[in-house]
Amino acid sequence: MLNDMKKVTIYHNNRCSKSREALSILQQENLEIEIIEYLKESLSYDKIKNIYNLLDEEDKSKFIRVKEKEYDNITNDIIDSVVKFPKLLERPIIILGNKAIIARPMDKLYNLLKEEK
């Protein structure tokens, strides 16, 4: 039933195999999925800050992709850096309820889905 469906948001990059894998897992669940292709849609400072604040401390430390060339341009304000260089955002980020995770490894996504059942 539609009313029983939980809404999940995925910050997605279709060129990323982990992001595609996470989306596939979500599509197998009884969830309403909002797909945000963050490289195509501009994310506001407040939106990125909200995502960051929903992450646990471990995932906060992995929020930025350090191997991207844009990493050399980050400032002390990592939220602002992601606004300016969205490619720096680690992926995939999944938000379900009031919790966000970086789904690496995929076991983190399975655990999140289990917690929400």
Give the angle subtended at the CA of 79 by the CAs of 102 and 52, to the nearest 5°: 35
Selecting among 4, 7, 15, 16, the annotated active-site residue is: 16
16 tagged catalytic:
yes
Residue 71, Cβ neighbours under 10 Å: how many?
14
Which positions are catalytic? Answer: 16
